[in-house]
Structure 1
């Protein structure tokens, strides 16, 4: 019998859905509006670099993602997936830091931008993997297997950004796989909290 994923922070769970939607929307629209920008070869952060034509849009998308995932982390903390909440909070904070440390400002800021991005990569990769244990204990064995596969795929893609010329492609793929976990978790927590609980 499967356990419940219910959280006491039902509406906060939607932050895990809204954040990725804002982020993906930002890089899709921003990239399409930027002349000469390649989603295969160019990193997402280039859209928010100093002097970039869509800097405002992409910076807003970064901040919206970070803030929404921070809110969503409170729903994770109040659920059986509480083991994941700190990673989600770190991921949200790291993404806001990426926005606050734009590329092309200075060499030192570029370095700190890379550090913030690395923390974001590590946390989004670890999130689904860490969720596998609680999911399996609740009876969601297939979801646990998919979570582990997703985390490994996300991590492999993000590592590939450091060795491949197609770093934009692998960055988007790796982050999107992690975002799929966030969205799935957000909807699952929201729906579980909406179900009536059996009488004692």
Structure 2
């Protein structure tokens, strides 16, 4: 299998991350809301009578594992994506890895510093990839451009509202989950293109 096919596969499997959130959330005690609670709350190490996430290691490991897939996928698809998109994906992936290494309840400032690049670089990567594919795959390109705008706007709204907002979880997921689908679609396009030329 070529480097590019491995890169496409890395992007294709990343939507499985969403299932990880559900698995971890199902084990929490004290109540967890996908609408009002941030994703980072699932990775909190400490427990109290009010709330506990006993599967926090799985959540933080997921941040790291899927971050490696993102950065690795970007590097392996560098020739196709170009330097800007590749750089943005690598930054996003490393940010995800760093987020998993800095749980929210251990050091909130460090956690915010680790996570912030992800919310900036991911939407930008979609815009760059969408612009790059506008002639070869116009439908996919438009989808990526729209997704980039939506996720970027949601990221700004999440930051402005803060983690204590009643819609923090919904805004954060709106800034993260569509990116998984968008990049998986780009990976699928790459994989199909490689299959046709093989």
CA contact (8 A) 1:46 1:103 kept: yes
Contact 2:143 2:182 in 1 (8 A): no
Residue 93 (structure 1) shift: 0.4
SS at match of 1:9: helix
Partner of 2:123: 125
Conserved in 2, the CA contact under 8 Å of 1:33 and 1:54? Answer: yes
Give yes or no for contact 2:12–2:187 (8 Å, CA) kept in 1. Answer: yes
Describe the SS at the equivalent of 1:78: helix
Q: Runs of at least 4 residues of structure 1 off by over 3 A? A: 80-83
Match of 2:180 in 1: 179
* Structure 2 partner of 1:32: 26
- Name which of structure 1's ranges 57-66 and 188-197 shifts more when overlaid on structure 2: 188-197
Worse-matched range after superposition: 80-89 or 149-158 = 80-89
Q: Deviation at 1:15?
A: 0.8
Q: What does 1:58-73 align with in structure 2 at a 5 Å threshold?
A: 58-73=59-74
* CA-CA distance at 1:176 after TM superposition: 0.9
Match of 2:77 in 1: 76
Q: Please report the TM-score for the alignment, with normalisation by the length of structure 1.
A: 0.86
| Deviates most, 34-43 or 159-168 | 159-168
Residues 20, 65 of structure 1: 8 Å contact kept:
no
**1:148 pairs with 145, 149, 153, which one?**
145
Structure 1 residue 90: Cα displacement: 0.8
Q: Helix, strand or coil for the counterpart of 1:61? A: helix
> Residue in 2 aligned with 1:4?
none
Q: What RMSD in Å do the two structures reach over aligned CA positions? A: 1.7
Unaligned runs of 5+ in 2: 47-52
Within a 5 Å distance, the mapping from 1:1-200 to structure 2 comes to: 9-21=4-16, 23-35=17-29, 36-51=31-46, 52-105=53-106, 109-138=107-136, 140-162=137-159, 163=161, 164-196=165-197
What TM-score, normalized by structure 2, do the two folds share? 0.86
Q: Secondary structure at the match of 1:153?
A: helix
Deviation readout 1:129-176 (Å, 9 max, x if unpaired): 1112211143x2232222211111001112222324210011112211
- Over residues 25-44 of structure 1, what are the superposed CA-to-partner deviations in whole Å (9 max), with x where a residue is unaligned? 21111112212111111111
Distance in 1 between residues matched to 2:104 and 2:45, nearest whole Å: 6
